[in-house]
């Protein structure tokens, strides 16, 4: 069965791309992303937990928790020794993701339900790190709208993410709630935990109200605000809303702030599917082509396709679940998945645009060479950065969810 072979190789790829220090590479050394990005790294740990690779998950958490910066945040990316290798501004979703992932690890070891199994000692060891991360997130919360401010988020694209962005807010809210649950399990200070929970519930309510458009029947991408301390934000220099469809608008359900059965989630997913499923190649694009940040050419992304497959699995929609996961299986090359897939025409159009604008960095030049030399080029397809570790982790999670539901 091809789907199971892809699962088995995805597990192997996770193992192979974890450095002995614990960090999961975003892509292997010699490819475009030979660094440890807290976002990709956290998803890799979630994949390891799903595959019951608990030693690898623990090692990965030790790496990232030990790399926290003095104010409580986690850098955009690290080298294999845990040194800051960032070249972009604040991406607060990474801090939320680390907390959320640690919570999932603790839950998988038994959590507060099986105390004799739960890795409480691990949480206790890093409790000051957890506290600093929560407080850093809350430092970036705007009291007027109860949302968390960021410069970059999942797409690392400030033009559409600078402000109160849906993925960053969902990740941070879920991360704080995870910290509260872990704190309860280890007997942390009740007053502090109550304060955290109260703040997280404010953020959650703001996500579900301010960031949901009843007329569009969808969550929205971002409320643009330049300065987190603008008072009132209506007079902020950036004040506006990003209402274009984005795969990240699934984030409230992805981070379990709202049920996959909730009408807000279902309506949002219908909109994402309608506008972002690629009619030519298949698979799910991450955002509209007209955003014009289509590194390697516009096209579908395997990990976003896997993420939405989980929605259909949860809702017992086997037909769409198989459409989404089946596409991932079909597009894998030698049981490996790229970052995304484009057509040669789209790819060369992107190369032309970036060449004319003189904005091709060395990493992109290397990516162009590797893409043109990949065997799938002969089939008319541009496979961008293969393997990327993130989609393998998401596939592991989706495959296990599918097998639990339908097999």
Half-sphere exposure of 357 (CA within 13 A, CB side): 11
pLDDT given for residue 94 in this prediction: 98
pLDDT for 113 equals 58
The pLDDT value recorded for residue 42 is 98
Q: Retrieve residue 136's tokens.
A: 């850093």
List, in sequence order, every residue forming a beta bridge with 284; answer none if it has no partner.
277
CA 183 vs CA 127, 196, 201, 326: distances in Å: 8, 10, 16, 40
Alpha helix (H) residue ranges in 109-143: 120-125, 127-139
User: What pLDDT score does 111 carry?
Assistant: 66
Q: What is the distance between the alpha carbons of residues 64 and 320, in angstroms, rounded to a whole number?
A: 36
Positive or negative, the Cα torsion across 160, 162, 163, 168?
A: positive
- How far is residue 252's CA from residue 174's CA, in Å, rounded to a whole number? 9
- Give the integer Cα–Cα distance in Å for 120 and 136: 23
Identify the CA nearest to 218 among candidates 200, 244, 241, 254.
Answer: 244
What are the 10-residue block averages of pLDDT along the chain, 407 residues in total?
97 98 97 96 98 98 98 97 92 98 95 69 97 98 97 96 98 98 96 98 98 98 94 94 98 98 98 98 97 94 98 98 98 98 98 96 93 98 98 98 95
Rg (CA), the chain: 20
């Amino acid at each position: 069965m091809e789907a199971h072979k892809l699962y088995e190789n995805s597990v192997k790829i996770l193992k192979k791309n974890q450095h002995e220090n614990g960090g999961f590479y975003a892509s292997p050394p010699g490819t475009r992303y030979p660094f440890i990005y807290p976002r990709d790294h956290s998803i890799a740990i979630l994949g390891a937990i799903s595959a019951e690779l608990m030693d690898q998950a623990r090692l990965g958490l030790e790496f990232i928790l030990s790399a926290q910066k003095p104010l409580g945040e986690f850098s955009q990316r690290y080298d294999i020794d845990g040194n800051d290798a960032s070249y972009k501004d604040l991406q607060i979703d990474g801090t939320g993701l680390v907390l959320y992932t640690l919570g999932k690890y603790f839950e998988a070891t038994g959590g507060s339900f099986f105390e004799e199994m739960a890795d409480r000692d691990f949480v206790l060891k890093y409790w000051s790190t957890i506290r600093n991360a929560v407080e850093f997130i809350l430092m970036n919360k705007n009291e007027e709208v109860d949302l968390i401010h960021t410069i970059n988020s999942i797409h690392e694209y400030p033009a559409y993410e600078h402000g109160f962005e849906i993925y960053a807010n969902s990740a941070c809210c879920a991360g704080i709630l995870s910290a509260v649950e872990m704190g309860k399990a280890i007997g942390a200070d009740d007053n502090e935990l109550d304060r955290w929970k109260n703040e997280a519930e404010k953020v959650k309510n703001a996500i579900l109200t301010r960031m949901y458009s009843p007329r569009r029947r969808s969550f929205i991408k971002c409320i643009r605000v330049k300065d987190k301390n603008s008072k009132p934000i209506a007079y902020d220099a950036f004040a506006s809303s990003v209402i274009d469809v984005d795969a990240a608008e699934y984030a409230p359900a992805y981070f379990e702030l709202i049920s996959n059965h909730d009408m807000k989630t279902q309506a949002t997913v219908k909109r994402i599917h309608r506008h972002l499923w690629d009619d030519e190649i298949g698979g799910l694009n991450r955002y509209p082509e007209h955003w014009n940040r289509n590194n390697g050419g516009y096209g579908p992304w395997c990990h976003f396709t896997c993420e939405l497959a989980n929605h259909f699995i949860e809702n017992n929609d086997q037909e769409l679940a198989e459409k989404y996961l089946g596409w991932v299986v079909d597009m894998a090359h030698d049981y490996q998945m790229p970052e995304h897939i484009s057509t040669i025409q789209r790819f060369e159009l992107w190369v032309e645009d970036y060449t004319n604008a003189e904005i091709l960095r060395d990493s992109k030049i290397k990516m162009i060479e590797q893409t043109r030399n990949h065997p799938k080029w002969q089939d008319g397809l541009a496979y961008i950065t293969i393997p990327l570790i993130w989609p393998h982790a998401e596939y592991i999670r989706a495959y296990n969810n599918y097998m639990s539901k339908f097999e």
